[in-house]
Amino acid sequence: MQQQAEDLEAIRVDLDEKLNQAYDVRDEVNDIKKDMGECEIPVNIAMRRSELEALSERLDRINDDFGDLRQADEDFDGDSASEQEIKRTI
């Protein structure tokens, strides 16, 4: 019975050591993930998608504003100096 208790104690110690090693590895992996930040592919893709959507919205607004300026130029009935100013703006 004493031998079995000693064997079980040795197994418990071995298991504790392996669990501590596993926890250390898990902590290292978490540290690496934290250091990588946006380098993780899914995070990077999501960030770039968001940036592209924002850029697309800004580009649409610029195109709309440019179209409005062109329409204002076509509709303008002023003198040539003011028309030149509008053309420079466009």
pLDDT tens for each residue of 30-59: 998 888 876 778 878 888 999 999 999 999
- Structure confidence at residue 39 (pLDDT): 73
Q: What percent of the chain has pLDDT over 90?
A: 46
Rounded to a whole number, what is the distance in angstroms from the first to the last CA of the chain? Answer: 95
Q: Nearest 5°: CA angle at 89, between 83 and 90?
A: 90
Q: Model-level pTM? A: 0.45
CA torsion 6-7-10-12 (nearest 10°) is -100
Instruction: Show me where the domains of the chain are located.
Output: 1-39, 53-90
Tracing tokens 């501590």 back to the chain, one arrives at 20
- In this predicted structure, what is the pLDDT of residue 38? 67
Where residue 90 falls among pLDDT bands split at 50, 70, 90? low
